Amino acid sequence: MDKRTFIKELALAGLSLPLGLNLQAGKPGNVRSRGLRNGKTVPLADWLGQYEDASAQALADDEVYWEGIRGGYKLKPDYINLENGYYNFLPETILEAYIGHVRDVNYQGSYYMRTVQWDNKSAMAAKLAVLAGCASDELIITRNTTESLDMVIGGYKWKVGDEAVMAAQDYGSMLEMFKLVGDRYGVVSKVVSVPNHPASDEELVALYESAITPRTRLLMVSHMINITGQILPVRKICDMAHQHGVEVMVDGAHAFAHFQYNIPDLHCDYYGSSLHKWLSVPLGSGMLYVKKGLSANIWPLLAESNHSLSGIGLLNHTGTLPVHTDLAIADAVDYYQKMGPDRKEARLRYIQQYWTKQARVLPGVIVNTPEDPTRSCGIANVGIKGMKPADLASTLLKKYGIYTVAIDGAGVQGCRITPNVYTTPQDLDVLVKSLKELGANV
């Protein structure tokens, strides 16, 4: 489907610009608004078509363009949602497609489950593999990152005294899973602490290397640290670990479909992500990448009865699942590609920098995310000196109508701020105003 067709489909789905959007409210001097009927609401199809050749950088601060994307979401008016990190709820076009899949699977019933269910799941995995830049026999669909990565940790063929390296800033479920295999198999967890403001990639590589010993077998690293939004130099860490004979498992929960990369270019051995985060697949969708030839290193979580399967397929037995969720993967990938992965990345980085640049210089305000734009994208974390993160989160909600999540641990005290493609600079102006007022009281 080309971009024109996609735009037409959006329009047919009734996704026109938000009621009463006044195009005069767009960025002053925006040449792309020429030819439009100023002051009138126009269909999204007429409007988005003008942007076909616009570059990601040119569109990053083009508020008219992003207002159109925002118009495709049904937004709850009660608060400004700056907590998209847990779940990137769906734009209406994906939601409607998903509801259609629920109806269709229900209509076909067991016939669907006994006939095309598996072919469709394979087709979805193949589509994801193209997006991830890997081979289709290196990727399976799971329910989430937790299932993907805990399957690797729990299924690894550990021996007593083996060591694994990880960071205090990694996600709790994986840290807990390493403790569980510690109790079960005698695996020792070596935990480093990643600085919020590293001076260089080399500092981070050396930090991880310092925890490796001759007994180390597996190193876990977050592609993007979930509590601060810091992006880690994963490829350099993988190359270093491989020199020591250590395999690397990457937690990509927040990276996939947030910023662009091909998984094989990271040189990792295992990679897990949640598709209900940045790809906007309905809840309960994830993926696991296992580099070709390595799947035999992992004991499956559940035994596969189809003996014709081999390789990564042996890790993918699930039992009966909400299979309509799998089907929505194609809709979410199409939506993402038509919006433009490069446009999304540039916009998310732009809006994060929009507010953090202002916040970094405010008295009493601490930004816990690196300033270097290559070390972050949409997510950042901010605290107020002397204020508990939980109090900050509740004040932001009650006094300013901003919904966030408090982070208090692993060297990070603040609220995680996760905008999405529908977030406006005006939303973030409210955040900056609140930080200014709260920081001034310190």
Ligand X SMILES: Cc1ncc(COP(=O)(O)O)c(C=O)c1O
Nearer to ligand X, 254 or 349 (CB): 254
Yes or no: say if 45 and 10 are a contact pair by the CB < 8 Å rule. Answer: yes
Contact residues for 234 (Cβ-Cβ < 8 A; gap 6+): 221, 223, 248, 250, 266, 268
Nearer to ligand X, 240 or 255 (CB): 255
Nearer to ligand X, 174 or 187 (CB): 174
What is the smallest separation between the CB atom of 348 and ligand X, expressed in angstroms? 16
Nearer to ligand X, 222 or 381 (CB): 222
Residues of the shown chain interacting with ligand X in the complex, contacts defined by CB under 6 A: 86, 144-146, 171, 173, 222, 226, 251, 253-254, 274
What is the smallest separation between the CB atom of 150 and ligand X, expressed in angstroms? 9
Nearer to ligand X, 16 or 222 (CB): 222
Nearer to ligand X, 21 or 263 (CB): 263
What is the smallest separation between the CB atom of 260 and ligand X, expressed in angstroms? 18
What is the smallest separation between the CB atom of 87 and ligand X, expressed in angstroms? 8
What is the smallest separation between the CB atom of 368 and ligand X, expressed in angstroms? 15
What is the smallest separation between the CB atom of 300 and ligand X, expressed in angstroms? 18
What is the smallest separation between the CB atom of 23 and ligand X, expressed in angstroms? 37
Q: What is the largest CA-CA distance in the chain?
A: 72
Nearer to ligand X, 41 or 173 (CB): 173
Nearer to ligand X, 69 or 151 (CB): 151
What is the smallest separation between the CB atom of 152 and ligand X, expressed in angstroms? 13
